[in-house]
Amino acid sequence: MAIDIWFPLAIYYEDIANSADYKNSMLDKIYSLKNKVVTKRTNDQSSWTGDVHDIDQLHNDVDFSWLTTEVKKHAMIYLKTLGLDLSKIDIYAQRSWPIIAEKGQSVSRHTHPNANLSVVYYVSVGTGADQEQHVFLTSINIMNSLEALVLA
């Protein structure tokens, strides 16, 4: 585990154990959801993002339950490392969506104004001959019993 402090922003990153066991099933589900979308709401320079296509509840999908559990576990490790009292924090997911970025595409500049924490999980990152595409999920939310802390 590593935490870097940037601007003063603490960035937590971790390679999650057993992720390879779930990669193909998550990719299959993401592409299935994308293929059901009738009208594309992004331009050719922007990645395909589930949230603008009303696909923003992956944390409620059984196919992503492993990831939702892992994100919660790692969010708690992060918050504990920062010195927060975990007995006063309840973590829950508010929104989570897939993103598919083809070569040359990017995620449009945006903010998560209702969030104090954001999570990005890369399901697949192209390498070598497969550099054409990156598939990732974003957004999980945290709720503190005294104030809202949202991962979005």
Tell me the pLDDT band of 80, cut-offs 50, 70 and 90: very high
Provide the 10 A C-beta neighbour count for residue 29.
Answer: 17
pLDDT of residue 29 exceeding 90: yes
pTM: 0.79
Distance, first Cα to last Cα, the chain? 22
Which pLDDT score is estimated for 150? 32
Residue 100 belongs to what H/E stretch?
Answer: strand 97-102
Position 62 confidence tier, pLDDT thresholds 50, 70, 90: very high
Helix (H, G, I), strand (E, B) or coil at 21: helix
> Over 80: is that where the pLDDT of 133 sits?
no
Q: How many CA atoms lie within 13 Å of 17's alpha carbon, on the beta-carbon side?
A: 3
In contact, 114 and 95? CB cutoff 8 Å: no
Q: Which residue, 146, 139, 79, is CA-closest to 112?
A: 139
Q: Of 52, 36, 50, nearest to 123 (Cα)?
A: 50
95: how many CB neighbours lie within 10 A of its CB? 20
What pLDDT digit, counting tens, does each position of 90-125 carry? Answer: 887 888 999 888 888 888 887 777 777 888 888 888
Cα–Cα distance, 135 to 62 (Å, whole number): 19
What is the gyration radius of the CA atoms in the chain, in angstroms?
Answer: 16
Q: What pLDDT was estimated at residue 151?
A: 35
The answer to which of 54-63, 97-106, 125-134, 138-147 has the lowest mean pLDDT is 138-147
